[in-house]
Amino acid sequence: MRTLTPLGWLALMGAAVLLLAIAGRGLGLRWDPFDLQQKRLDAAQAQASQAERDADARRIETAGQAQQAVRLEIHHRQNLAVERATVAAVTQARSAEDANQLLDPVRADRLHAHDRELCRLAPDLDGCAAPPGSG
């Protein structure tokens, strides 16, 4: 056997290192001097936990929207029931026997006082005059 040149020795050493690395991998040995595998694992776990939190948030949001839709439907039904009752009461009051008779002045004053109190509490109600000094 002839003596190898320095380049030949380098090639022989490279082949030996490559052969050892392949054999080591086959036996389950891993060389990770910068701990890259653990960093990738940590990043994947963080991403999975973030995705799980996002999914939980979407479930809560969907449940909240469903509950809001139910509450809104109840509100609309109540609003329609109040409108129907109001129309019926107004119709009945206008068609009553004493609908065109004047009220007793004391009762009329009491009703006007109640109206003024309502307008003071909620000036944006229909039929309320604008508060003095707002014009």
pLDDT for 114-131, tens place per residue? 888 888 887 887 777 776
Q: In whole angstroms, what is the distance from residue 75 CA to residue 77 CA?
A: 5
Residue boundaries of the structural domains of the chain = 36-95
Q: What is the mean pLDDT of the chain?
A: 88
Structure confidence by residue, pLDDT tens digits, 89-101: 889 888 888 878 8
pLDDT the model gives residue 65? 98
CA distances from 75 to 28, 46, 72, 81, 86 (A): 67, 43, 5, 10, 16
Answer yes or no: are the C-beta atoms of 76 and 84 closer than 8 Å.
no
